[in-house]
A and B are shown apart, each in its own frame.
Chain A
Amino acid sequence: MKLDEIENSVLLKEIERRFSQRDNTIYELKVVMGKMESINKQLLDAESNRSKFISIIRNEFNNPLSSMINLSKMLLSGKEKVDIKLIGNSLYQDVLNLNFQISNIISVAEIEAGTLEKEISKINFEEIIEEIKDALQYLIKDKNINLNINISCNEDPIYQDRSKIYSILVNLISNAINFSPNNSVVEIVIIEEVDDVRVTVKDRGEGISTDNQKIVFERFRQAHSGMNRTQMGQGLGMGVVSDFIEFLNGKFKLESKEGEFTIFEFNLPKESKDESMFMDDDLLFDEGQEF
């Protein structure tokens, strides 16, 4: 068919079709561009998180490390009459602080790698609280905090993951103390219920506004962040708390009134002694199919 034999209306239709095709292509390109922009933003966020992490580590590890180096040098020199007890105290304080920070970093790494394991064992809450008191002794002494502890458990042993409960509690309690005014009370209530254990940590600190209640569980965030943040820490603690509670199939909630109090409450189910229960319940299932 020659070009001049084609009717105008057919030509017009073809042109129209091509125009609409072009419009569609432009629209699709716009959508793809939008997606790429949002991916780019995510990459930038990830990059800024990474550099934030490095700068936080630099700040918070350098100080205790250099103080530890100097203190141990002093002990080694042996020239002047040094107060060994005083130096030992400072060293211990620095080591405890570093240990706290590093264990949070390791926890986050484990959560990310998916290598978390449930290690169920007998739980003695009194023992865990004593351990926490020991780890946080300098913080408690510094701010003259009165820890009001109330544990009511039955005689039957409770089985759960001890090290994760320790991490959850030490983070919650150190947070509560950090954000409390001096000479105040931090309340810790542990109650055993029928199927689970309920733990409440309450401080009379500055509180968290409703807007900020969501971000406290994000990594590298503190509700009171920015240049004038007063608290130490990488902002990993609450993320670890929420992930561990979720991992142990628990539930948590945060209640707070600005300028008055913050209550963090969580429930953890009581586990059975071991997982053999899971293994030997084949009776409750149909015949197996093989794949």
Chain B
Amino acid sequence: MEFEKKFIHSSQIYVATEPTEIHTVLGSCVAVCLVDQSTFTAGMNHYLLPLWNNDGIPSPKFGNISIVKLIEAMESAGCQRKNIVAKVFGGASPSGLTTSQVGSRNIEIAEDILREYDIKIVGKDLGGMNSRKIVLNSVSGKVILRYPNKDRLNNN
């Protein structure tokens, strides 16, 4: 099957109705992947900060805006809420940045909002100190997660 490749950056939301591999790279950001296997639709977001504090534009840079928009986008693509499951990744706290809790707060908001919308989290890999690269396959609904290999990185 031919897969389109789509790379999303922070503050972006993407819902694939055609066979697509959605890629992203995460640090303290969190990506929520929503999968509906009954329609082979999958969507991913990538947000930087947990909460929009009513200051400036309510952009999907913020988890509480981005996740809700992603759910809405899945539903307008023809998915039913009861068929959607979630996989959540990211929210690392890179070493040396222990004071900032952005990562863990990003995780919390994802769990809160998904619970509120009654969407079950069926897979996750959260927190820790390392960045992640994830690829969501919109047909199988599977996510491949890779951690950077320190040895190979340092040799380059």
Contacts and interface: CB of A to CB of B under 8 A. Distances in A.
Interface residues of B, number: 38
B54 A288 contact: no
A184 to B, nearest CB: 31
A287 to B, nearest CB: 7
Contact of A285 (B59, B60, B65, B146): B146
A108 B58 CA distance: 10
Interface in A66-112: 108, 111-112
A114 B66 contact: yes
Interface string B125-156: 10000000101000000111111110011001
Contacts of A286: 146-149
B52 to A, nearest CB: 10
Contact of B7 (A219, A279, A283): A279
Contacts of B143: 290-291
Interface in A234-278: 239, 243, 246-247, 275, 278
B56 A217 contact: yes
Nearest to A107: B57
Contacts of B89: 291
A111 B148 CA distance: 31
Contacts of A116: 11-12
Interface string B35-56: 0000000000100000000111
B145 A114 contact: no
A246 B9 CA distance: 11
Contacts of B11: 114, 116, 247
A114 B60 contact: yes
B109 to A, nearest CB: 16
User: Which of A42, A219, A243 has the most B CB atoms < 10 Å from its CB?
Assistant: A243
A284 B56 CA distance: 38
Nearest to B8: A117
Nearest to A278: B7
Contacts of A114: 11-13, 45, 59-60, 65-66, 69
Contacts of B45: 114
A143 interface: no
Interface in B95-124: 123-124
B124 A285 contact: no
Interface in A137-160: none
B5 interface: yes
B54 A285 contact: no
Nearest to A242: B56
A274 to B, nearest CB: 10
A162 to B, nearest CB: 17
A268 to B, nearest CB: 14
A89 to B, nearest CB: 36
B146 A282 contact: yes
B58 A112 contact: yes
A111 B57 contact: yes
In the A-B complex, the 8 residue pairs with the closest CB atoms: A114-B60, A285-B146, A291-B123, A288-B144, A114-B13, A291-B143, A275-B7, A288-B146
Interface of A: 42, 45-46, 108, 111-118, 217-219, 239, 243, 246-247, 275, 278-279, 282-291
Given A116-B11, A247-B11, 11 more contacts: A45-B54, A46-B54, A108-B57, A112-B57, A112-B58, A114-B12, A115-B13, A116-B12, A219-B56, A243-B59, A278-B25
24 contacts: A42-B54, A46-B54, A111-B57, A112-B57, A112-B58, A113-B60, A114-B12, A114-B66, A114-B69, A116-B11, A117-B12, A217-B56, A218-B55, A219-B57, A246-B61, A278-B7, A284-B149, A284-B156, A285-B133, A286-B148, A288-B135, A289-B146, A291-B143, A291-B144
